[in-house]
Structure 1
């Protein structure tokens, strides 16, 4: 097990012979939302088009991370707004294909579209200052890569946006969301992600984090949850059950699609049976399910219990 800062999140490993078994909250959420989506991303590794919304989230996260490099008194909203164009330039330098997001119909770059997008990112960054005061925060960790191996051998890993540690030693896990807060009946997925992180930190450090905090920049909401050990044991059981389901699906190749309102944003409709598509040929060997052992005695086919 280990805990390090500033490392990129490693790809999840499908449960195959000779490969490490690992799971992140993002891939766990994929399987719970739609097992076929998990297959497309983890096993088939189908390409996905970059989206303006996801790219904006990356830029906003980078600004909120790097703002803490400045002295406390200089962590102001104008400074954060001014950082947005620079973080976009840094990102597009690393991934030039992102520039295509802001091309016009003629294929040329559209300064108007880019300017509007940057303004949207700046608005999200500025809105954060009404939710938290960075001049009074000194994060212990930012963009923290964490991983730990459970007794089962399954490795859990992920990247935590921010970890705060109070003078009392209490730990707060903070995650930024650039969208709007979900309705209460749909908050479970986001809280599962946070409890997943809490489980990893608990297994690494031996103490249950005091608070989980989701900061929704798109709607100006802050959702908090204070976990207890019982919660995290329940999450561990859920993760292990989920991994067993992933293992069985991987062996059989049977990843069923699950149609939801999120299908409209999926890049893989051309391969999805729900939309008349055909998945690629399954790239892994299929392991036939074992037949159940026969039951019964020698005369009637029924075995006595032992």
Structure 2
């Protein structure tokens, strides 16, 4: 099985591409997309984000064990080690290895995981997999899949962990957008439409299922193409405008937003900042389900 260390801060030399997070940002607010993808602004992680990162790391380590060894006891044993690894990669996490309350919160999420899935029965092909593809040479897509499973029939299943609670029907649309994005990348990269995609919500033990079909993914691909064409035009002009709404309450960059009296940074001449502001790795980039 393929595994990876906790994702380091954004590599500024990588070509620009569209990820589920950036696509969701653009859908919510074009200016937010600019702040993150062009200006490359970051923010210190919240406690919830830090907790989610550590739980993801513990689950990744759990699937590094042989199937029968993937027990609840093993998961709890792996938790302090996961915290230490994440802290080594992200010193500004805001917690430390002696934070008993933080570890207890993460341990509770791991316990909930075992109520929604039996990891001893899972055949994981990889964890924390970086997946990339380019649609017909002009629409670059990128993502990180928490876990990719392959069953006895050869069918592929995508699994994504969420350490928050399941969303309301309104928030469910955003969750399905992320799953469709992963399905499209896997399909175009491997030539296989995933048999299923699942979001495991460890905050309340709920599971969201999605079964894609080729025709639906073709329609979604057209949406992604249109989004990327618009983004390319805006990156050239710099005319990213705010879209005020309820989500502004959770925006880390509200102070820079003209809708709230702020002033964005000067727009980079080439449409991309020369380097990122030091900050959190991928997993703790944004809050889950901020409704």
Aligned to 1:270: 255
Bigger Rg, which one: 1
* Superposition pairs of residues 135-214 of structure 1, within 5 angstroms: 135-214=120-199
Q: Per-residue CA shift, 1:157-216, capped at 9, x if unaligned?
A: 111111111111111111000111111232111111111111111112222111111111
Aligned to 1:56: 51
Aligned to 1:30: 25
Q: What is the CA–CA distance in structure 2 between the aligned matches of 1:251 and 1:170, rounded to whole Å?
A: 41
1:241 matched to 2:226? The reply is: yes
Shift of residue 110, structure 1, vs aligned partner: 11
Runs of 4+ aligned structure 1 residues displaced above 3 Å come to 4-14
Tell me which moved more, 260-269 or 208-217: 260-269
1:67 matched to 2:62? The reply is: yes
Q: What is the CA–CA distance in structure 2 between the aligned matches of 1:89 and 1:13, rounded to whole Å?
A: 26
1:41 matched to 2:36? The reply is: yes
Shift of residue 5, structure 1, vs aligned partner: 6.0
> Residues 13 and 21 of structure 1 are in contact (CA less than 8 Å); yes or no, is this contact kept in structure 2?
no
TM-score (norm 2): 0.85
SS at 1:240 equivalent:
helix
Q: What is the CA–CA distance in structure 2 between the aligned matches of 1:66 and 1:199, rounded to whole Å?
A: 27
CA 110–259 in structure 1, closer or farther in 2 if over 3 Å, else same: farther
Unpaired runs of 5+ residues, structure 1, are 103-108, 287-306
CA 269–142 in structure 1, closer or farther in 2 if over 3 Å, else same: same
CA 119–283 in structure 1, closer or farther in 2 if over 3 Å, else same: same
> Residues 21 and 154 of structure 1 are in contact (CA less than 8 Å); yes or no, is this contact kept in structure 2?
no
Q: Which has the higher contact order (CA 8 A, sep 6+)?
A: 2
Q: Per-residue CA shift, 1:54-95, capped at 9, x if unaligned?
A: 111111111111102223222111221222222111211222
CA 285–85 in structure 1, closer or farther in 2 if over 3 Å, else same: closer
Tell me which moved more, 262-271 or 214-223: 262-271
Q: What is the CA–CA distance in structure 2 between the aligned matches of 1:280 and 1:133, rounded to whole Å?
A: 48
Tell me which moved more, 82-91 or 193-202: 82-91
> Residues 124 and 149 of structure 2 are in contact (CA less than 8 Å); yes or no, is this contact kept in structure 1?
yes
Q: What is the CA–CA distance in structure 2 between the aligned matches of 1:84 and 1:110, rounded to whole Å?
A: 10
Shift of residue 244, structure 1, vs aligned partner: 1.2
Aligned to 1:292: none
* Count of residues in correspondence between the two structures: 269
Q: What is the CA–CA distance in structure 2 between the aligned matches of 1:27 and 1:40, rounded to whole Å?
A: 10
SS at 2:116 equivalent:
coil
SS at 1:222 equivalent:
strand
Aligned to 1:124: 109
SS at 2:109 equivalent:
helix
Alignment RMSD, CA only? Answer: 2.3
Q: What is the CA–CA distance in structure 2 between the aligned matches of 1:12 and 1:258, rounded to whole Å?
A: 28
Tell me which moved more, 40-49 or 213-222: 40-49
Shift of residue 276, structure 1, vs aligned partner: 1.3
> Residues 131 and 144 of structure 2 are in contact (CA less than 8 Å); yes or no, is this contact kept in structure 1?
yes
Aligned to 1:232: 217
